[in-house]
């Protein structure tokens, strides 16, 4: 039967329209993937399951930083029904005006917010949350979400531990796969250094929701849910009670106090003062502004970030280098006429003591002149073609003691300090136009030298070990082999025993015999120490003291570096010795001294 | 040479049409079940839910089909077409005043628990009356009187339906242009309507001036073609030129009235739907919500779909009117492109088959009725599916045989089986 021509046109038209429909369907189903994504957004609620951060333990298993439960209150504005503002504000412990403000905000941006769930109040305590939970049924659209926040059983110091805060835009930008707005991140200290271990990984629970955003079943019986992986716990090398004691001793002082176990390089205590109190730490958000404005810079970790002249403690290094280079022998005696004339009329002064003296006495009494002779002998050594060459050799020695460069501790923000090169002086004075007399202050650890308190503490550990150190560190982690490696200095280990008698006498030489550190003496502990008084361009001298104990088989090496507290023997020395005593004996035999140290304040102590 | 022809049921009924019909009804029923299926599934036969009800509509539909095939004479339809048409037009008008208000329109009669929409039957009666009138030997579409009457037959129920605020359903009547075209109506009619629609859209989407520029370019092209193809000073050429001038004038009037019509004649919701369709306004929470959710549901289906009852968008009710007007979403989401292809091709085969059967028919009545049926199915198919995938504005008309609803299913079943019955009669007697 002949099919009419017009009928053919209509049939072709029909199939053309069918082709258009199918083409369009093909496009939205196969080619354009945005609809699939939208469908997921539509129907699946990914509820984040936050991972608790890893717990930070001290060396003996005490909890330095733990977690406690808190609650965030989330709100889905679309689900909210009219409610009693006053009652809700009361249940959440916030102001009525805050609730009104938020609700007004949600209303204003309702189309942008859509079906999203937002955070209403953060970090509610358990007690407060329970109050809310009791009447939660009256507030559809509001619900609580568990978050764990930090808790600090010991006042171990904010700069050491660091604080945790919400991620900011730059954190998200750096690791967009890891962080979402509202996540927490370690910002400073250990929390930052060990963020990767501590943070764990978030999980999620997938719910299906219907078109009215009512939660339905969990999706595929939770088959695709991802459990949260709690952060790894960290065992630090810190001795929590010792750290807290150090913290106490440093109250009202500006400076650092560090204790290291010499045999392992493990940091036992590390105080940067003034610091952030742990009470503040857990709620850093509300104190942040005040902390940043504080002229004493409590957020500044002086132990690794401040570079000071080391002062007289540096004499030990010059002495050791002299011994190694053969320009000094322990029996060499040099005169001291209350100083050293490095030109005919310019003198580097010294205090009043007997003269002439040998190396042991020079260390004990911290004679400036003696070490000027030592450095002169080093730099004017005929072995070297020029002062510059001798200087650079000297510098190599100094660097082998861990100065001038970053130690490589587990503090990412660590500074390297500064040990000048001959080029520096060439540039300053002109090549070949400078001599020992130009750098004389290096003899006594002044001048162009900068060292962090951690480097100075490491010096104490080196002397305690008689010639080697392990990089000071704060986390026990068997995978980090760099911390178990011994680093030898360029000075032979046999030379070290030649400076130690002086250090022992400085502490234990008895009052009146010229020892600079008699205040550190504790009978039976055999503390060896060296004081330092570093000139401080900003005011009174910095009080410095390094020590280790006991003399044979040392268990602890300490540095005290207190800004503006005068000469080394006055504050740094007793404070360091109290710390040593506490560590070795577990108690303090000198309560009056302890009291005086704790009560003396050089800066205002915040009243809290 | 004469062949023994069996005039029984087996050889006279076009079984292919019946099979297509059964497949579509079955697909509809399954997807209605899927679309109302919530996290707590009930039986597909559960009378309290829509799939159970649809099952009853389907069974009663079968009864209607059987009644038409076996109990009623095919001759009956031609005889009653006139009175039936007038009766239904009266119902259409009456419902404006006494009908129950459903979502802003007055198109439903409600008798207790049963509701019924005369517009559904009106498609059948209009088709029948057109077939009767145009099937007469004396009828010529070129006869102005005949043309006017035909236009009236289509226009009266259409206007009545517009008055019921069911503008979308009225759009289906545009489909009656196809049988007219088949019976000799100039193809220009279809082309002019197409141009008018395109100009309307162009004016709304861009501006009056761009539309005018388009018309000018078109007119110049037309002028060139006229000057080229007719002898100078011939009567034909003059006539063509006049027609063109009239066409341009009409186009300009259309362009300038577009905004006026759009802003003043259309109802608020209609205007918004068109605006959303044309992308002039985004309204994902309001008018755009249906379309957006519908496209998300279909778009998320992928090639093979998510599987029966596995659709998240359909199961959790993101798409409104999901078992009725938006039933295609369920198909798209759960059966994917494959399912969509199957369903649409099935419609294509059904409509093509109806057209072929109509062409084979020796009776003008059957042929014209068949074209009317095919056109109605086509318009529903295009508007309904086009709406779910964002090609058409949201117009609430069902997908034939598939959408939930007794009224629609019965009407289409009856309409189809009247044709099968007419077709069968041909084979019986010729």
Q: Do B30 and B58 fall into the same domain? A: yes
Higher pLDDT, A511 or A552: A552
Sheet containing A215-218: give its strands across. Answer: A44-49, A203-209, A215-218
Closest in B297, B313, B351 to A14, CB measured: B351
pLDDT computed for residue B311 by the predictor: 74
pLDDT tens-digit map of B349-378? 999 999 999 998 888 999 999 999 999 999
Fold assignment, A240-599: Beta-lactamase (3.40.710)
Chain A residue closest in CA terms to B336: A29
Residues 6+ apart with CB under 8 A from A381: A325, A327, A390
Beta-strand pair A266-273/A255-261: antiparallel
- Percent of chain B scoring above 90 in pLDDT: 36
Strand partners, A150: A67
Q: Which residues of A74-112 are buried (b: 16+ CB within 10 A; e: fewer)?
A: bbbbebbeebeeeebbebbebeeeebeebbeebeeeeee
pLDDT tens-digit map of A342-366? 888 888 888 888 888 999 999 999 8
Q: What is the distance between the alpha carbons of residues B195 and B218, in angstroms, rounded to a whole number? A: 11
Strand partners, A418: A450
Q: Which chain B residues contact residue A14 at CB under 8 A?
A: 348, 351-352, 355, 378
Q: Which chain B residues contact residue A1 at CB under 8 A?
A: 359-360
Omega cis (within 30) before A274 = yes
- Put simply, whether A26 touches B (Cβ < 8 Å) is yes
Omega cis (within 30) before A356 = yes
Q: How confident is the model at residue B295 (pLDDT cuts 50, 70, 90)?
A: confident
Nearest to B309 by CA among B61, B21, B36, B8: B36
**Which one of B312, B319, B371 makes the best mutation probe of the A interface by having the most chain A beta carbons within 10 Å?**
B312
A442 contacts A374 by C-beta, under 8 angstroms: no
The reply to whether residue B347 touches residue A18, judged by beta carbons under 8 angstroms, is yes
Closest in A20, A28, A211 to B299, CB measured: A28
A434 contacts A428 by C-beta, under 8 angstroms: yes
Q: What is the distance between the alpha carbons of residues B331 and B307, in angstroms, rounded to a whole number? A: 10
pLDDT computed for residue A331 by the predictor: 92
Last residue of a domain, one of B266, B289, B318: B266
The number of C-beta contacts closer than 8 angstroms across A and B is: 120
The reply to whether residue A39 touches residue B389, judged by beta carbons under 8 angstroms, is no
Beta-strand pair A56-57/A234-235: parallel
A581 contacts A565 by C-beta, under 8 angstroms: no
A576 contacts A532 by C-beta, under 8 angstroms: no
Closest in A7, A17, A35 to B382, CB measured: A17
The reply to whether residue B302 touches residue A43, judged by beta carbons under 8 angstroms, is no
The answer to whether residue B40 scores a pLDDT higher than 60 is no
The reply to whether residue A10 touches residue B182, judged by beta carbons under 8 angstroms, is yes
B35 contacts B330 by C-beta, under 8 angstroms: yes
Whole-complex ipTM: 0.90
Q: Enter the pTM of the model.
A: 0.60
Q: What is the distance between the alpha carbons of residues B96 and B160, in angstroms, rounded to a whole number? A: 8
A352, exposed or middle or buried, with CB in 10 Å at 0-12, 13-18, 19+? exposed
Alpha helices (H) in B67-186, listed in sequence order: 75-98, 118-134, 144-163, 167-171, 177-182
The reply to whether residue B382 touches residue A209, judged by beta carbons under 8 angstroms, is no
Which of A120-129, A290-299, B145-154, B311-320 comes out lowest in average pLDDT? Answer: B311-320
Q: What is the distance between the alpha carbons of residues B415 and A117, in angstroms, rounded to a whole number? A: 51
How far is CA A520 from each of CA A402, A473, A549, rounded to the nearest angstrom? 26, 26, 11
Residue B2 lies in a domain: no
The answer to whether residue A582 scores a pLDDT higher than 70 is yes
Q: Do B347 and B416 fall into the same domain? A: yes
Measured in degrees and rounded to the nearest 5, phi and psi for residue B99 equal: -70, 155
Tell me, rounded to whole angstroms, the distance of Cα B48 from its chain centroid.
30
Residues in chain B: 430
- Put simply, whether A12 touches B (Cβ < 8 Å) is no
Higher pLDDT, A606 or A203: A203
How far is CA A237 from each of CA A84, A234, B211, B319, rounded to the nearest angstrom? 52, 10, 80, 60
Q: What is the distance between the alpha carbons of residues B333 and B311, in angstroms, rounded to a whole number? A: 6
A93 contacts A124 by C-beta, under 8 angstroms: yes
Q: Which residues of A174-202 are buried (b: 16+ CB within 10 A; e: fewer)?
A: eeeebbeeebbbbbbbbbbbbbebbbbeb
- Put simply, whether A5 touches B (Cβ < 8 Å) is no
Q: Which chain B residues contact residue A24 at CB under 8 A?
A: 389-391
**Which one of B41, B187, B189, B296 makes the best mutation probe of the A interface by having the most chain A beta carbons within 10 Å?**
B296
**Which one of A9, A18, A45, A206 makes the best mutation probe of the B interface by having the most chain B beta carbons within 10 Å?**
A18
Q: What is the distance between the alpha carbons of residues B340 and A517, in angstroms, rounded to a whole number? A: 92
Closest in A29, A210, A216 to B298, CB measured: A29
The reply to whether residue B302 touches residue A32, judged by beta carbons under 8 angstroms, is no
Higher pLDDT, A583 or A294: A583
Looking at the complex, report in whole angstroms how far the Cα of residue B297 sits from the nearest Cα belonging to chain A. 7
pLDDT tens-digit map of A426-456? 998 988 889 888 898 898 888 889 999 999 9
The reply to whether residue A10 touches residue B300, judged by beta carbons under 8 angstroms, is no
Domain that holds residue B358: 9-205+267-429
Q: What is the distance between the alpha carbons of residues B97 and B118, in angstroms, rounded to a whole number? A: 13
Provide Rg for chain A, Cα atoms: 33
- Put simply, whether A25 touches B (Cβ < 8 Å) is yes
The answer to whether residue B238 scores a pLDDT higher than 90 is no
Q: Do B165 and B226 fall into the same domain? A: no
**Which one of B184, B292, B299 makes the best mutation probe of the A interface by having the most chain A beta carbons within 10 Å?**
B299
Q: Do B247 and B283 fall into the same domain? A: no
| Token pair recorded at residue A104 | 């007004």
Last residue of a domain, one of B218, B242, B266: B266
Q: Which chain B residues contact residue A30 at CB under 8 A?
A: 302-303, 337
Count of domains for chain B? 2
How far is CA B79 from each of CA A607, B73, B85, B365, B425, rounded to the nearest angstrom? 105, 10, 11, 11, 15
Q: Do B232 and B164 fall into the same domain? A: no
Q: Do B406 and B287 fall into the same domain? A: yes
Residues in chain A: 608
Chain B residue closest in CA terms to A38: B296
Q: What is the distance between the alpha carbons of residues A494 and A374, in angstroms, rounded to a whole number? A: 19
Residue B1 lies in a domain: no
Q: Which chain A residues contact residue B178 at CB under 8 A?
A: 10
B182 contacts A10 by C-beta, under 8 angstroms: yes
Nearest to B176 by CA among B139, B147, B144: B147
Which of A234-248, A555-569, B91-105 comes out lowest in average pLDDT? Answer: B91-105
The reply to whether residue A36 touches residue B389, judged by beta carbons under 8 angstroms, is no
**Which one of B178, B300, B355 makes the best mutation probe of the A interface by having the most chain A beta carbons within 10 Å?**
B300
Q: What is the distance between the alpha carbons of residues A261 and A113, in angstroms, rounded to a whole number? A: 56
- Put simply, whether A607 touches B (Cβ < 8 Å) is no
**Which one of B181, B295, B304, B314 makes the best mutation probe of the A interface by having the most chain A beta carbons within 10 Å?**
B295
Strand partners, A532: A544
Looking at the complex, report in whole angstroms how far the Cα of residue B98 sits from the nearest Cα belonging to chain A. 35
Last residue of a domain, one of B266, B283, B302: B266
The number of C-alpha atoms within 13 Å of A502 and in the hemisphere containing its C-beta is 25
- Put simply, whether A24 touches B (Cβ < 8 Å) is yes
Q: Do B258 and B341 fall into the same domain? A: no
The answer to whether residue A194 scores a pLDDT higher than 90 is no
Q: Do B218 and B298 fall into the same domain? A: no
Q: What is the distance between the alpha carbons of residues A438 and A178, in angstroms, rounded to a whole number? A: 55
Strand partners, A149: A68
Q: How confident is the model at residue A1 (pLDDT cuts 50, 70, 90)?
A: very low
What average pLDDT is seen over chain B?
Answer: 85
The answer to whether residue A99 scores a pLDDT higher than 80 is yes
Q: Do B230 and B326 fall into the same domain? A: no
In three-state secondary structure terms, B93 is: helix
Residue B240 lies in a domain: yes
E strands, A473-538, in order: 487-488, 528-536
Q: Which positions 211-250 of A are in contact with B (Cβ < 8 Å)?
A: 211-212, 216-217
Chain B residue closest in CA terms to A21: B386
CATH 3.40.50.2300 fits A68-153, yes or no: no
Q: Per-domain residue ranges for chain A?
A: 68-153, 240-599
Nearest to B402 by CA among B22, B21, B24: B24
pLDDT tens-digit map of A506-536? 999 888 777 888 888 888 889 999 988 888 7
Residues B324-335: what's their mean pLDDT? 89
Looking at the complex, report in whole angstroms how far the Cα of residue B56 sits from the nearest Cα belonging to chain A. 29
Residue B3 lies in a domain: no
Which is it for the CA torsion B161, B162, B164, B168, positive or negative? positive
Residue B167 lies in a domain: yes
In three-state secondary structure terms, B218 is: helix
Q: Do B116 and B191 fall into the same domain? A: yes
Q: Do B200 and B262 fall into the same domain? A: no
Looking at the complex, report in whole angstroms how far the Cα of residue B178 sits from the nearest Cα belonging to chain A. 8
Q: Do B363 and B406 fall into the same domain? A: yes
Q: How confident is the model at residue A260 (pLDDT cuts 50, 70, 90)?
A: very high
Q: What is the distance between the alpha carbons of residues A553 and A556, in angstroms, rounded to a whole number? A: 9
The answer to whether residue B310 scores a pLDDT higher than 50 is yes
Residue B108 lies in a domain: yes
């Amino acid at each position: 039967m002949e099919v009419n021509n017009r009928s053919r046109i209509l049939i072709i038209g029909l199939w053309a329209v069918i082709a258009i429909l199918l083409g369009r369907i093909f496009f939205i189903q196969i080619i354009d993937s945005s609809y699939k994504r939208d469908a997921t957004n539509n129907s699946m609620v990914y509820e984040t399951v936050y991972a608790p951060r890893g717990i930070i333990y001290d060396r003996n298993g005490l909890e330095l930083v733990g977690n406690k439960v808190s609650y965030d209150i989330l709100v889905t504005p679309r689900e909210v029904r009219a409610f009693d503002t006053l009652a809700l504000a009361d249940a959440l412990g916030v102001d009525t005006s805050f609730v009104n403000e938020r609700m007004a905000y949600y209303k204003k941006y309702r189309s942008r917010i859509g079906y999203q769930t937002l955070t209403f109040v953060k970090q509610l305590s358990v007690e407060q949350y329970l109050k809310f939970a009791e009447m939660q049924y009256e507030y559809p659209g509001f619900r609580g979400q568990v978050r764990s926040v930090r808790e600090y059983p010991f006042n171990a110091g904010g700069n050491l531990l660091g604080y945790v805060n919400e991620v900011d835009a730059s954190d998200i930008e750096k690791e967009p796969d890891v962080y979402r707005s509202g996540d927490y991140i370690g910002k400073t200290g250990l929390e930052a250094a060990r963020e990767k271990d501590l943070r764990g990984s978030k999980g999620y629970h997938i719910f299906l929701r219907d078109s009215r955003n009512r939660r339905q079943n969990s999706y595929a019986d939770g088959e695709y849910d991802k459990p949260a992986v709690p952060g790894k716990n960290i065992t630090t090398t810190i001795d929590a009670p010792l750290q807290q004691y150090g913290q106490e001793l440093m109250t009202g002082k500006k400076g650092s106090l560090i204790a290291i176990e010499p045999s392992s390089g493990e940091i036992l205590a590390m105080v940067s003062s003034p610091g952030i109190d742990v009470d503040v730490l857990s709620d850093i958000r509300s104190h942040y502004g005040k902390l940043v404005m504080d002229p004493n810079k409590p957020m500044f970790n002086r132990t690794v970030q401040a570079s000071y002249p080391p002062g007289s403690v540096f004499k030990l290094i010059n002495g050791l280098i002299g011994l190694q280079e053969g320009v000094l022998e322990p029996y060499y005696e040099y005169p001291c006429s209350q100083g050293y004339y490095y030109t005919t009329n310019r003198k580097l002064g010294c205090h009043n003591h007997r003269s002439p003296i040998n190396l042991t006495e020079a260390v004990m009494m911290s004679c400036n002149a003696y070490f000027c002779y030592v450095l002169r002998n080093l730099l004017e050594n005929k072995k070297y073609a020029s002062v510059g060459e001798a200087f650079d050799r000297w510098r190599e020695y100094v660097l082998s003691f861990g100065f001038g460069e970053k130690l490589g501790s587990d503090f990412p923000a660590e500074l390297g300090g500064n040990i000048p090169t001959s080029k520096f002086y060439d540039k300053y004075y002109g090549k070949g136009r400078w001599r020992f007399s130009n750098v004389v202050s290096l003899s006594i650890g002044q001048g162009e030298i900068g060292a962090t308190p951690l480097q100075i503490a490491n010096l104490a550990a080196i002397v305690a070990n008689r010639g080697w150190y392990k990089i000071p560190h704060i986390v026990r982690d068997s995978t980090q082999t760099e911390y178990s490696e011994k680093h030898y200095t360029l000075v032979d280990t046999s030379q070290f025993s030649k400076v130690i008698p002086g250090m022992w006498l400085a502490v234990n030489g008895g009052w009146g015999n010229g020892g600079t550190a008699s205040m550190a003496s504790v009978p039976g502990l055999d503390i060896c120490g060296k004081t330092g008084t570093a000139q401080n361009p900003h005011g009174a001298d910095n009080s410095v003291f390094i020590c280790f104990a006991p003399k044979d088989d040392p268990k602890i090496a300490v540095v005290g570096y207190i800004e503006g507290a005068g000469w080394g023997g006055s504050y740094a020395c007793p404070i360091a010795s109290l710390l040593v005593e506490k560590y070795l004996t577990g108690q303090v035999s000198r309560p009056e001294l302890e009291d005086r140290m704790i009560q003396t304040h050089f800066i205002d102590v915040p009243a809290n | 040479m004469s062949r023994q022809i069996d005039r029984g049921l087996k050889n006279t009924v076009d079984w292919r049409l019946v099979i297509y019909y059964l497949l579509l009804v079955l697909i509809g029923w399954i997807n209605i079940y899927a679309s109302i299926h919530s996290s707590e599934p009930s039986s597909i036969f559960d009378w309290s839910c829509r799939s159970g009800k649809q099952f009853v509509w389907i069974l009663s539909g079968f009864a209607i089909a059987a009644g038409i095939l076996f109990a009623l004479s095919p001759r009956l339809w031609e005889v009653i077409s006139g009175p039936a048409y007038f009766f239904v037009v009266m119902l259409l008008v009456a419902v404006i005043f006494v009908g129950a208000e459903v979502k802003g329109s007055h198109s439903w009669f409600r008798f207790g628990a049963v509701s019924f929409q005369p517009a559904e039957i009106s498609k059948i009666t209009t088709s029948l009356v057109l077939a009767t009138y145009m099937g007469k030997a004396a009828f010529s579409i070129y006869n102005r009187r005949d043309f006017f009457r035909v236009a009236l037959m289509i226009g009266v129920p259409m206007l009545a339906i517009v008055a019921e605020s069911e503008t979308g359903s009225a759009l289906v009547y545009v489909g009656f242009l196809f049988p007219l075209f088949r019976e000799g109506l100039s193809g220009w009619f279809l082309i002019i309507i197409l141009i008018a629609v395109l100009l309307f859209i162009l004016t709304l989407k861009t501006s009056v001036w761009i539309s005018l520029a388009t018309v000018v370019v078109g007119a110049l092209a037309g002028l060139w073609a006229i000057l080229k193809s007719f002898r100078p000073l011939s009567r034909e050429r003059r006539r063509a030129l006049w027609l063109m001038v009239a066409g341009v004038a009409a186009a300009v009037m259309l362009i300038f009235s577009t905004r006026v019509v759009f802003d003043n004649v259309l109802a608020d919701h209609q205007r918004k739907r068109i605006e959303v369709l044309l992308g002039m306004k985004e309204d994902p929470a309001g008018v755009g919500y249906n379309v957006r959710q519908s496209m998300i549901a279909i778009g998320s289906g992928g090639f093979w779909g998510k599987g029966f009852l596995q659709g998240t968008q359909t199961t959790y009710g993101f798409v409104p009117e999901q078992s009725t007007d938006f039933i295609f979403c369920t198909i798209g989401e759960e059966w994917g492109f494959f399912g969509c292809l199957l369903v649409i091709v099935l419609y294509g085969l059904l409509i093509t088959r109806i057209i072929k059967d109509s062409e084979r028919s020796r009776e003008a009545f059957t042929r014209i009725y068949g074209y009317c049926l095919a056109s109605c199915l086509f318009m529903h198919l295009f508007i309904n599916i086009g709406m779910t995938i964002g090609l058409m504005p949201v117009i609430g008309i069902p997908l034939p045989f598939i959408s939930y609803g007794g009224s629609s299913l019965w009407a289409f079943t009856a309409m189809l089986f009247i044709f099968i019955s007419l077709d069968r009669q041909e084979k019986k007697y010729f």
